[in-house]
Structure 1
């Protein structure tokens, strides 16, 4: 998404929120669509004295085959408890050790932005204030994703893209998206 396009997308997202501590924004879309960049800019532009907590699905996926498991993890440990006023948290996956790592507590009275492939399940969407789908041209997405990870993603692109396609067929995240954006 061009810089001015990202700025406009942030404005549109913020205009659809109450901007209270209970706002939950879920930002999904395929790899390389620009979700991380948009999430960073959204958090930076958030008005007021309290910045949202930003959770990245890349920190949660339990390995390259864990897209669906990460979405369920966020529902069970973060979004569900947060909605009930219970302690909310998520567990980091240590990619180097390929093992579960430390837990991260998330305050319930601070806005929350969760970005990443597979976050927009039907169950998660029901617990959000705003659900956003971000997409881009397939060639551009692949180019961005492979460049971003300095070769670490190259061997996994086809499997990850197929896993994401299964997620889209099973969960139909576009139907849960309150806002659809396209980067270019």
Structure 2
């Protein structure tokens, strides 16, 4: 980021056209208000009674952290207040639905059939979580009761098919050196050849899908701050995240971060 950092903003533009503004530091509490306020950005509750928020971005960009902080901000807001209406938020990570390394983008029908379609119909979602250590899906089922808001986080979560159903689509990015340093610290050097192939594939997917250009909100994953209140920095279209250009798991979850 530049030497001059903008003040944390509570600016809340109108949701109707999904004009979330650009280049401003905002709080997660403010984002909770926008997600819960309605009407949704581009597609008011296309997932039946559930408001779908998709969080995408390259490996180690900070999307898992962004999703976690949004969930925390939702939980911290007083239920039934103007800040957050009565309702639940649920988080599903795409890494849990991949059938190993070769299922990087082809897992989507599984997400649709086991998670999105049931919730759209008002029924609980059920899926088996992939065990990246054992190399197979676990025996037990994860059950997700229909929430007020569903977050789906992971590489390709904001693909075109998801944007057509989503109330809000988000792309979290960070400079390649930042992402590589995070991956080395988390995954170790031995995993980098495998992750290099993963990163190469995701770059091609994002380019073909135009994900970063088509989402509602572009976020600088290098500038996520744990302060009080927790905040994030929106990126201008075509702008660089803190420290470099936008763009591009652990053994347990390849796209985590």
Relative to the length of structure 2, the TM-score reads: 0.62
CA distance in 1, matches of 2:65, 2:89: 15
Q: 1:119 to 1:96 in 2, by over 3 A?
A: same
User: What does 1:28-177 align with in structure 2 at a 5 Å threshold?
Assistant: 28-46=56-74, 47-49=77-79, 51-101=88-138, 102-151=140-189, 153-177=191-215
Equivalenced residues, count: 181
2:88 touches 2:147 (CA, 8 Å); kept in 1?
no
Relative to the length of structure 1, the TM-score reads: 0.83
| Structure 2: gaps of 5 or more residues | 2-7, 10-24, 39-48, 80-86, 223-257
Deviation at 1:8, TM superposition (A): 2.6
Instruction: State the superposition RMSD in angstroms.
Output: 2.6
Tell me which structure has the larger Cα radius of gyration: 2
Q: Choose between structure 1 and 2: higher helix proportion.
A: 1
| Structure 1: gaps of 5 or more residues | none
Deviation at 1:93, TM superposition (A): 0.9
Q: 1:42 to 1:8 in 2, by over 3 A?
A: same
1:44 touches 1:51 (CA, 8 Å); kept in 2?
no
Q: Deviations over 1:55-104 (max 9, x none)?
A: 12222221122221233322232123322323323321121221122331
3-state DSSP class of the match of 1:65?
helix
Which residue of the partner structure matches residue 251 of structure 2? none
Misfit runs of 4+, over 3 Å: 48-51, 150-153
